[in-house]
Amino acid sequence: MNKSKIIYIYLILNFFTSNLLSQNPVFSQNQNSRNRITTMTVHPGSSIMPSPSEGSESIKYKIIVEIDSAFYSLKADLIEKGKVIDEKAGYIVYKNKAFKGNEAVFEMIPDISKYNVMTLYTYLGGAITFNYLINGDSKKQIKYKKFIVAPQLKNTPIPLILCYIDDEQNNYEKLLNKYLKNDLVYITSYEELQEKILKYIEKCLFVYYNLDDK
């Protein structure tokens, strides 16, 4: 990981959540072969500790809470042509509560070194969670794009990363590149993301956070 590129994305949120750094994380585990999503959690000290391939990009998020309190969920959904395959299969990485003035840092590393599988490593609250996107076509390539964080609204997915299986002509990458600003996808709302991007991509893993009151 010494050669990993590190990008710091500072998020100043009107709504957010949790005392992430001081509390034990609560992770969900979901193994769904039909949806091709698998998640697991490994805590520090475990004898099994996978790590990203050298050269994988490390994306670090720093959160400063600016309201009295809110609940935050960090999630990933498998989406086909704009439709979540199974809402119950939504992969909840973390959910907790935060108070005004709390700061939190979490890190995501998409490892796309293998053509047939992308491993998304999430480091948060002293534990690691893994999520996989499977590609069954050797002629296609798994790619990802990072987002400029959209305005914070409660009960609305706020995009962080989109991992996708591009087609042979790289049309999905070309589509996403239309909305790039400084190598980040700029989308003003989840509705815009659905209308302009998600409904056109055959299969992707959409990583986002959501803010609500419970």
DSSP labels, 143-195:
EEEEEEPPPP-TTS-EEEEEEEE--TT-HHHHHHHTTEETTEEE-S-HHHHHH
Above 60 in pLDDT, residue 32?
A: no
| Residue burial 27-44, b: 16+ Cβ < 10 Å; e: rest | beebeeeebbbbbebeee
**Which residue is associated with the tokens 């056109």?**
200
For 148-161, what is the mean pLDDT? 78
What is the pLDDT at residue 200?
A: 96
Note the pLDDT tens digit of each residue in 88-121.
Answer: 555 666 777 767 777 767 889 999 998 889 999 8
What is the pLDDT at residue 44?
A: 59
For 140-158, what is the mean pLDDT? 83
CA–CA separation, 147 vs 83, rounded Å?
Answer: 20
What is the pLDDT at residue 171?
A: 96
What is the pLDDT at residue 147?
A: 93
Rounded to the nearest integer, the mean pLDDT of the chain is 74
Contact indicator for 104, 20 with CB cutoff of 8 Å = yes
Which pTM does this prediction carry? 0.76
